[in-house]
Structure 1
Amino acid sequence: MLKKSFTWLLIVMLVLGVLTGCGQKPTATPPVEEAKGEPMVLKYNLGEDIKTLDPQLNSVINAGIVLVNTYEGLMRLDKNEKAIPGMAEKYEVSEDGTKYTFHLRDALWSDGQPVKAQDFEYAWKRALDPALASEYAFQLYYLKNGKQFNEGQANADAVGVKAVDDKTLEVTLEAPTPYFLELTAFFTLFPVRKDMVEKDPENWARNPETAVSNGPFKMTEYKMGESIVIEKNDNYYGKDRVKLDRVDMAMIVEASTALTAYEAGDIDLIDDIPNQEIERLKANDPNFVALPYLANYYYIFRLDKKPVDDVRVRKALTLAIDRKAIVENILKAGQKPATGFVPPGLFDANGKDFRETNGDFGIDPNAANIEEAKKLLAEAGFPDGKGFPEIELLYNTSESHKAIAEAIQEMWKKNLGINVSLANQEWAVFQTTLTEGNFVLGKGNWFGDYGDPMTFLDLWTSYSGKNTTGWKSPEYDKFIEEAKTTTGQERFGKMYDAEKLLMDNYIVMPIYYYTDTMLIKEYVKGWKKSILGYLYFDEVTIEK
């Protein structure tokens, strides 16, 4: 999902350069591979350059992949996305489900300093501090007074996280949260060291000298727009399961360029496949993999911009596209047409699929509803598209995003008689443009952070840092807040109501639900990619 064009020569230079990069500190018992003089190195294409590697500020997948391999939370996730002990070797929960007491294991940061409960308290309160302006602060609203602190209505001391001593962390929640343990494995809740952050508040996370970490790997090199290198962290408590010496991460933006590098043997693993190559690779490459993905692809509207300030226009644009044609003719990797915001595969308290239960909101997954779309556009004052102003659809630079945008542009022209121009921006600029609200139509995608519909629905609260539409609905906020303080099917009922309100207002235009396509060399063993989109390297081996 993040790529950058490199010339062939630059790709070769990059690979050769990182192979002679920083070495590890000597250890008492060198890894077998080092003793042989052949370090075990995985070469992976990270894609576009990252905006930040600060756990409390990051909000995107590619930087998240770096973070989940270099840091570790109180819990980590097993292959089923369930919480297992991480930095906390054990915990207790109160009978009412609102108080957790975590007991930290003996663990070290990559510079040899002990990991302390105070590091978690500092990080969580830092994420909530309004001065930091973290887009993911809302992931900590589950804490007692977390939302109040973030909104300036309480002080940090009132927040429900406290280091009792170096090894004991007490956490108090506003209400029972069934997925709280899984949330502690999410990067916003990773610990960070106060002394390192304060050395260089703006750039500490990009500098290997200050970006100390507590996970299986540590960052040893960062070259803006070129590469990131992470190396085995010999101070990690679970270092025995880590076989790789190093992961070299290139930043090749264009999927076709990355594929060329992969097929030439310069990259071992890529996870953004050019759409036009998928059928060939599916048929001919045994290393092509398509995995389930808890993720969706959609367009968003900026509600204070004409003509999309009119719900009839938003609905007309949503109904006038053929989703089946997009997934079958452009994407070709088993993606499914989207008819709601929450993807399939999440189940309510009665065991029913959330997506199937809440319906399709009038969106036909197999065809455009042209007649209804034209009727709505006429009611909005634009019969057969006459008088409709040319608007711009903005997406971040990607061959796939471009192909989808061009197809939808043509559908709107043919089915509604309107002209929509296309514009692309590099990822970092695109994120800023959306955040500032300088768009009419914008591309969006969301990858679930945990296995519950809430990970998709609380994006659209009026206080969410990820809600860049300008939509603020007290009714929607109330549904979400009530869902966070109730349990069982009542809780899911509130989430059903929230999604219905979101879709009835056509704040977002669902397009498709992802599959995760990858190419992985046959000699790369032990890799794991979660349904949430994160690659884990801690058990990978290279067996050539």
Structure 2
Amino acid sequence: MKKTALVLAAVMATGMILTACGGNKTADAPTTAAGTETTTAAAEGETAAPAEEGGSALDLAVQVGPDPETVDPALNSAVDGANMIIHAFETLMIVDKDNKIVPGQAESYEVSDDGLTYTFHLRKGLKWSDGSPLTANDFVYAWQRLADPNTAAPYAGDMLGYVKGYEEAAEGNLEALGVSAPDDDTFVVELSVPCVYFSKLITHASMVPIQKATVDANGDQWTLTPETYICNGPLKMIEWVPGSHITFAKNENYWNADAVTLNTLKFVLMEDSNASYSAYQTGEVQMIKDVPTEEIPSLKGKEDFHVDPIMGTYYLSFQTEKAPFDNPDVRMALSLAIDRDYVANTVMQGTYSPATNFVGPGLSDAEDGSSFEETTRKNNGGDFFDVANHDADVAKAKELLAKAGYPDGAGFPTVEYMTNDAGYHKPLAEYLQSCWKEALGINMDIKVVEWSTFTPTRRAGDFQMARNGWVYDYDDPSNMLNLMKSTSGNNDGKYNNPEVDKMLDEANSTADVAEHYQKLHDAENMILADAAMAPVAYYNDFYLQDPKLKGTWHSPYGYWYFMYATMD
């Protein structure tokens, strides 16, 4: 998912089916006499409950970013929007504070022997926030809406690409999508190929149910007012003042409302880190995501300052359809010239880690307990970028630029780098400007764009170079690598390599776990060798949180969960 105020690809046919379902591991589940896999609350984890008991209802204020581009689950692709959506909506299965998959709207499900049919049994008596019944047909509608080409959902192919009939649905025949509701409490999904980590994909925020009545009545405006933003999660919207705040309150119609400890949750909308820091210091908010970089040295070691590793990569996108970035030698030259150790430890003050590959730490490989990153290092060519030997990379960069026809930058046009002004984005841009001038003789202009227009401009490909980033939606490297598929709705640089597409399709269509991961390793090597983008650093989230605030958790995917918060 896009990392904002700092951050899949369409599978087969063409951010949860994000990519093909090769083979990640899920929790073991018992087998019934009929031979089908059955997952219940007891099998995958207990029903979600407050992280800590006790305390009275809390009115909490937090800052996780500016105005979201959207809070429509089908249209959102940014972490800030998702942080709001996960409080207002709930998927069939959810991820708990221990990063385990537990029942959400579904109390159990079965998987057929061939792995192609998932049957979900919804909890009895589910309701929307307006008190009306929520049924399996609401999931059918939501998934069809996600596939609908008129919705233009960035995650459509990623989430649904291996659901039977997706190709037809993506062309407008929504009834062809392999989802059905035999009765109000049963939701059935038919896949075109087995996906052994499908239970992870359905936890993605785009896979929630949507109330058809409110969309029919309000069209694209349904998310903009509390009266029309009908939801099914722990909280419901009660106020949205653009540029100021979005406030949610406890949803009494949520099936597990008794566990929700919040009275209200106010998202204070700020992009300026100095403003958010001031709000934290005065007690206006109890947690902020955007901390001024100049304050970090004085904050390190304090009880309320946190640096949490999250699974994601900060990278640079090149507009690969237009010169000079249609030349892989040019892209590689600029990428190799970046001193990633300096960026992570000086520009970003040690709050990030230098990127040595595209897929970073935290991702699993084929064997239980194995690491994709470590397997790359040991068995698949090692680290692509040698951060300890940057001088050699710079020498290679000079050779490649000369090979491309621009010795010492002679004749190379002045290029433009687009970013937004939050966190380390602008300091990084200024570093790149000086780095490429000094090392390669390249002149670069910096274009700073307001967040409200930055993402749509980048998604449209209306840039030469732009900062980018992705935080994983689930534990499988395909989630990152599929960004480079030519058909991905999140391929902002419009990178197109048929061999990469083929390798990813093969990785995503095998049910063999080892083959799935090996082909992902091969795809990563191809992507890096072609300089499809330039990995810069691996994400950490650094933030301030009142030490008295308990019961919250921060997932490795960059989400904050506040619905069970208490205050000492």
TM over 0.5: yes
Matched, 1:519 2:562: no
> Residue type of the partner of 2:531?
Y
Q: 1:82 to 1:478 in 2, by over 3 A?
A: farther
User: Secondary structure, in 3 states, of the residue corresponding to 1:510?
Assistant: strand
Shift in Å at residue 450 of structure 1?
0.5
1:455-498 deviation line (CA, Å, top 9, x unaligned): 11112212211012122223222222222221210111111121
1:331-353 deviation line (CA, Å, top 9, x unaligned): 12442111221111212113542
Shift in Å at residue 39 of structure 1?
5.8
Partner residue, 1:236: 254
Write out aligned runs for 1:264-283 (5 A).
264-283=282-301
TM-score by structure 2 length?
A: 0.87
CA distance in structure 2 between the aligned counterparts of 1:217 and 1:360, rounded to whole angstroms = 46
Match of 2:143 among 120, 124, 141: 124
Partner residue, 1:442: 466
* Residues 179, 450 of structure 1: 8 Å contact kept: no
Shift in Å at residue 79 of structure 1?
2.5
How many equivalent pairs are there?
A: 508
Partner residue, 1:499: 524
Matched, 1:44 2:31: no
Q: 1:223 to 1:269 in 2, by over 3 A?
A: same
Match of 1:530 among 555, 559, 568: 555
Match of 1:321 among 338, 341, 347: 338
CA distance in structure 2 between the aligned counterparts of 1:365 and 1:256, rounded to whole angstroms = 32
Q: 1:447 to 1:3 in 2, by over 3 A?
A: closer
* Residues 361, 504 of structure 1: 8 Å contact kept: no
Q: Which has the higher contact order (CA 8 A, sep 6+)?
A: 2
Matched, 1:136 2:164: no
Write out aligned runs for 1:25-174 (5 A).
40-106=58-124, 107-138=126-157, 139-150=159-170, 152=171, 155-174=173-192
User: Secondary structure, in 3 states, of the residue corresponding to 1:196?
Assistant: helix
User: Secondary structure, in 3 states, of the residue corresponding to 1:245?
Assistant: strand
Partner residue, 2:194: 176
Match of 2:534 among 509, 525, 528: 509
User: Secondary structure, in 3 states, of the residue corresponding to 2:405?
Assistant: coil
CA distance in structure 2 between the aligned counterparts of 1:81 and 1:182, rounded to whole angstroms = 10
Partner residue, 1:306: 323
* Residues 226, 238 of structure 2: 8 Å contact kept: yes
* Residues 417, 446 of structure 2: 8 Å contact kept: yes
Match of 2:408 among 370, 384, 404: 384
> Residue type of the partner of 2:142?
A
* Residues 338, 511 of structure 1: 8 Å contact kept: yes
Partner residue, 1:540: 565
CA distance in structure 2 between the aligned counterparts of 1:459 and 1:349, rounded to whole angstroms = 21
CA distance in structure 1 between the aligned counterparts of 2:253 and 2:282, rounded to whole angstroms = 35
Shift in Å at residue 320 of structure 1?
0.3
> Residue type of the partner of 1:435?
R
> Residue type of the partner of 2:445?
S
* Residues 75, 153 of structure 2: 8 Å contact kept: yes
Partner residue, 1:12: none
> Residue type of the partner of 1:258?
S
Match of 2:358 among 300, 322, 341: 341
TM-score by structure 1 length?
A: 0.90
Matched, 1:409 2:433: yes
CA distance in structure 1 between the aligned counterparts of 2:404 and 2:313, rounded to whole angstroms = 29
Shift in Å at residue 513 of structure 1?
0.1
CA distance in structure 1 between the aligned counterparts of 2:95 and 2:410, rounded to whole angstroms = 54
RMSD: 1.7
> Residue type of the partner of 2:138?
D
1:95-151 deviation line (CA, Å, top 9, x unaligned): 12221100000211111111110000100010011111111102111211223421x
CA distance in structure 1 between the aligned counterparts of 2:431 and 2:375, rounded to whole angstroms = 30
1:341-366 deviation line (CA, Å, top 9, x unaligned): 11112121135422233345642223
CA distance in structure 2 between the aligned counterparts of 1:421 and 1:356, rounded to whole angstroms = 37
CA distance in structure 2 between the aligned counterparts of 1:2 and 1:260, rounded to whole angstroms = 21
User: Secondary structure, in 3 states, of the residue corresponding to 1:423?
Assistant: strand
Partner residue, 2:387: 365
Shift in Å at residue 399 of structure 1?
4.1
* Residues 334, 436 of structure 2: 8 Å contact kept: yes
Q: Which moved more, 1:323-332 or 1:74-83?
A: 74-83
Matched, 1:463 2:469: no
Structure 2 unaligned residues grouped into runs of 5+? 7-54
User: Secondary structure, in 3 states, of the residue corresponding to 1:91?
Assistant: strand
Partner residue, 1:11: none
Q: What is the percentage of aligned positions where both structures have the same residue?
A: 39
Q: 1:371 to 1:417 in 2, by over 3 A?
A: same
Q: 1:50 to 1:374 in 2, by over 3 A?
A: same
1:418-438 deviation line (CA, Å, top 9, x unaligned): 111111111221112112211
CA distance in structure 2 between the aligned counterparts of 1:334 and 1:48, rounded to whole angstroms = 21
* Residues 2, 398 of structure 1: 8 Å contact kept: no
> Residue type of the partner of 1:149?
A
Partner residue, 1:15: none
* Residues 57, 261 of structure 2: 8 Å contact kept: no
Runs of 4+ in 1 over 3 A off after TM superposition: 1-4, 359-362
1:298-346 deviation line (CA, Å, top 9, x unaligned): 0011012221111111000000011111111121244211122111121
Partner residue, 2:226: 208
> Residue type of the partner of 1:410?
S
Shift in Å at residue 392 of structure 1?
0.4
User: Secondary structure, in 3 states, of the residue corresponding to 1:445?
Assistant: strand
* Residues 339, 360 of structure 1: 8 Å contact kept: no
> Residue type of the partner of 2:200?
E
> Residue type of the partner of 2:60?
L
> Residue type of the partner of 1:112?
G
Q: 1:360 to 1:227 in 2, by over 3 A?
A: farther
* Residues 275, 330 of structure 1: 8 Å contact kept: no
Match of 1:294 among 293, 311, 334: 311
* Residues 333, 515 of structure 1: 8 Å contact kept: no
> Residue type of the partner of 1:480?
L
* Residues 101, 171 of structure 1: 8 Å contact kept: yes
CA distance in structure 2 between the aligned counterparts of 1:203 and 1:212, rounded to whole angstroms = 12
CA distance in structure 2 between the aligned counterparts of 1:281 and 1:217, rounded to whole angstroms = 32
User: Secondary structure, in 3 states, of the residue corresponding to 1:89?
Assistant: strand
CA distance in structure 2 between the aligned counterparts of 1:98 and 1:41, rounded to whole angstroms = 45
User: Secondary structure, in 3 states, of the residue corresponding to 1:157?
Assistant: helix
Q: 1:524 to 1:3 in 2, by over 3 A?
A: same
CA distance in structure 1 between the aligned counterparts of 2:273 and 2:358, rounded to whole angstroms = 27
Partner residue, 2:497: 473
